[in-house]
Amino acid sequence: MCPRDIERIASAPRDRRRRRGGGGHGGGHGGGHGDGSSGDGKSSSGEKGSSGKQSSSGKSDGISSSSGTKSGRSSSGDSSERPVPISGSTAGRTTALAYGPGGGRSVVIPFESIFAGRTSGGGTRNEVYGSDYYGSGYPYDTERGVSGRGFPFVFWPVVWGGYHGYGAPYLYDPEYGSTSNTSRPGGPLAQANFTSLNGNNTFYIISDNSTVTSLITSVRDNCTVGPFSSTVPIPFNGTLSDPLPEQAIQYYRASSVALTLARYNDTAALSNNPNATPVVLPNWINHTLLDCLNGTIAEAVPLINAADARWEICTHNLRSASLH
């Protein structure tokens, strides 16, 4: 008999940090991608959509609703389930589903596999939203960082490459290998950029290659993006010329997907203090594009609908295995 489903802790809201508001932002680190200095402002309705939404407790859920509700998608977009091929350490799984529901059983990874003893699978669509800190987006806890964590969506968390000479150690955990690790479910890390029509805002999605490839299609189906936006993924190498951890504005799917904003510099992300106040999102941000990207990622990011059957067969002797 396989282990029972992992009991989930009620999640809302998961962010332990203060609400973001409008306003300027601090100067950025050298590196990362730059773009123009004048912004697109608010959406045509004059509202900021779901960005910086505050819960009744006064804590932020980042730029999204932790309930997984739709946000910012074009009504004309295609939201049908679509198979997404995946490779890497997936215990035989070869396909995820864009717009799929996820779910299935949480199982213990068997001793002969990488990350033996940790749990894998069971994450559902309405649990993909994280927040603005690395280590968010896990359904059952709110820890900062990704060291020793399970894999509720099977996919591994993004890594930010080698140590850049600054920033807290939690950002650079080595256990998931390099950005080019082919054992990563979905393949090595990749990135895609999406610009506003006037080019003043540039957002980046970072995840495994299969996920980024799928999300490029979904974003282009649902959002209006500038002509220089990505049509294919490019490798994410984790260098200073790539998007940086202090530019992250939202994580998803157990921190296996990151959304970053060029020229944003959240110094709180670099701090050892988990209660450091995040830098507010800049007032030049294009909320229409931000909300569309945020909602599309949450709805369309590929999910595996159940833990691999071979793992279920192997887990009957692993009930007492300790997590790494």
- pLDDT reading at 38 higher than 80: no
Tell me which of 35 and 164 has the higher pLDDT.
164
Span 217-242, pLDDT tens digits: 999 999 999 999 999 999 999 999 99
pTM, two decimals, is: 0.77
- Would you list the DSSP string of 274-310? TTPPPPPPPTT--HHHHHHHHHHHHHHS-B-SS--HH
Q: What share of the chain is helix, strand, coil (3-state, %, to 5)?
A: 15, 15, 70
Query: Collapsing DSSP states into helix, strand and coil, what is residue 54?
Result: strand
For the chain, what are the domain ranges? Answer: 82-317
Whether residue 251 is predicted with pLDDT greater than 80 in this model: the reply is yes
Which of 43-47, 107-111, 150-154, 316-320 has the weakest average pLDDT?
316-320
Q: What is the mean pLDDT of residues 63-86?
A: 61
pLDDT at 162: 80
Q: What is the mean pLDDT of the chain?
A: 78
CB 218, CB 302: distance < 8 Å: no
Of 9, 8, 18, nearest to 55 (Cα)? 18
Continuous segment of H or E residues that includes residue 260 = strand 257-261
Full 3-state SS string of 159-172:
CCCCCCCCCCHHHH
Please check the confidence at residue 55 and state whether its pLDDT lies above 90: no
Tell me the three state secondary structure of residue 209: helix
pLDDT value, residue 77: 60
